[in-house]
A and B are shown apart, each in its own frame.
Chain A
Amino acid sequence: MTPNLSVVIGTLKLKNPLLVSSGTFGYAQEFVDFLDLNILGGIVTKTITLFPRQGNRPPRTCETPAGLLNSIGLENPGIKVFIQEKLPYFQKLKVPLIVSIAAQDEISEFVELAEKLDKERLVAAIELNISCPNVRHCTKKSNVKLIAQDAKATALVVKAVKKVTTKPIITKLSPNVTDITEIALAAEEAGSDGVSLVNTITAMAVDVEKRRPKLAMVIGGLSGPAIRPIAVRMVWETYKKVRIPIIGMGGIMDADSALEFILAGASAISVGTANFINPNVCSEILRGICGYMIRHRITSLERLRGAIMC
């Protein structure tokens, strides 16, 4: 028996639920020596902006108990270089490519980026990164700190992007909110095909000897196993409120932690920080999920979704 692992998000069909999270997998080439990329359900790129961004001042990362604190600041070569130099590599792969995009100053940049990506055959879907804690978002015209912290702003971005592309849209949500389900509902109503959660949790660490913050930008985003229970809780809450598929993430390290998210309601799961520790971890997680399903005689992944008994 080969379990059916396929997942559908809007018109996006994935052969299995395993994705890699934006910002933790570069543009995929970095991992080719360690992992057969074609086993992945999908690849989410490092976030692309309209123009190149050099990113934040270093130090940009530090390890915390069971976690990784980062403030990279969306360093990326910009959409033009991405399309010319990074995109052609995906021609060789048989994996749906999900391109993560973000705006630097204006919401209209999401539209411009989506228009450009809509023309690219190799792009299977677009993820809207409205939740990066390490950059300023659209502060020129609104007072919103983070789009993902405002239901109206979230809906505005999703609607605007939906108008210019037929590709499936995934909206990436922030855990730094009072009620993540409000934002998820806003994204759903605006036409988002799926939501991915959670992005990193804003956090801070201090070097007591130097009496300085460990990151140059003082505050960064926390990822890794430390945040997993928070992420699982948010996926569960969201699952009970929205109908669109959820991509669950936050500290997935192995098959068991991936299954936690699926049982809490995620249709797909995404591996982030664990890629840094073991660049081959995705193949191990996938094997583990299959093994679990065979052991429990579950033929289709759908049967596990949201299947916790409480």
Chain B
Amino acid sequence: MKQYLEIAKILKNTHIVGPYWKLKLSVSELAHRASSGQFVMLKVDSDQGPLLRRPFSIHQVKGKTVELLYEVRGKATEILAKMKAGQRLSLLGPLGTGFSLCDLSYVPLLVAGGIGVAPLVFLAQNLRNRKGLAILGAQKKERILCEKEFKATGFRVKISTNDGSRGFYGRVTELLEELLAKDTLLRKKAFLYACGPRPMLKQTIMLSKKYNIPGQVSLETHMACGIGACCGCVVQTLTGYKRVCKEGPVFAIKELTEEGLAE
């Protein structure tokens, strides 16, 4: 699959809530080649580093624009949040292996923890009108992301918050387990797609195995090159180390183990 090195123009860089921002970029080739679950490597330029690019999963593509939903968590994203419309960024992508769409006999069950919604909105758009269910976990109600976007694709949405301010009181994986435990039909027909912090993914893998539900997860990790050259971003799978940037970031749950996701 062809990959591009492009200079993208910032169309919009919007603060959503808390540490979350949305970046809308104008690109040329990259957008229509991208599929859900793939990512881009973005170079944030400044005099004081950072040196390497940073990976961001593709949130949405519309025509010749790409949207990235990001969380400010370090130097690169702090600089990124200060950038304005009209400025330019170097972009590498689309990279990696994305989601594969589940068979029509399945009900897509999306599980997102925090910023983990980012690639799942793109996926939900590919699974439009499949009567899927999206479970979104956030720390508190203000930080629930993309509820509207999921609903717009015909997904039902369930919410969990760690502080109980909205929806289920607890972790998103606890809500997932509750739903699976009581809904036999969902248990039989579900195909899981999950993205979020490692502990959440470990729990999702555990539940997937416990209830024998197939699925895929998208992993996040530090990367140096993003194109499979350095072998720096590997994850332990049942068949040895795999590069998150090349064989991933999306992996079949059956390939992964809970121990392999330890960081």
A interface, CB within 8 angstroms of B? 23-26, 30-31, 33-34, 46, 54-55, 58-63, 65-68, 70, 72, 75, 224-225, 273, 275-280
Contacts and interface: CB of A to CB of B under 8 A. Distances in A.
B171 to A, nearest CB: 21
B225 A75 contact: no
B231 A75 contact: yes
B5 A279 contact: yes
Given A34-B5, A59-B263, A276-B229, A67 B51 contact: yes
A26 B229 CA distance: 4
Nearest to A224: B51
B234 A276 contact: no
Contacts of A62: 222
Contacts of A23: 230
A277 B230 CA distance: 12
B227 A30 contact: yes
B224 interface: yes
B230 A61 contact: yes
Contacts of B2: 33
Interface string B214-240: 000000011111111111111110001
Contact of A75 (B3, B90, B221, B234): B234
Given A34-B3, A276-B53, A278-B5, A60 B234 contact: yes
A58 B51 CA distance: 20
Nearest to B3: A33
A55 B233 CA distance: 11
Nearest to B2: A33
Contacts of B211: none
Nearest to A20: B229
Nearest to B245: A30
Contacts of A61: 222-224, 230, 232-233
B51 A54 contact: no
A24 B230 contact: yes
A232 B73 CA distance: 35
B229 A72 contact: no
A55 B5 CA distance: 29
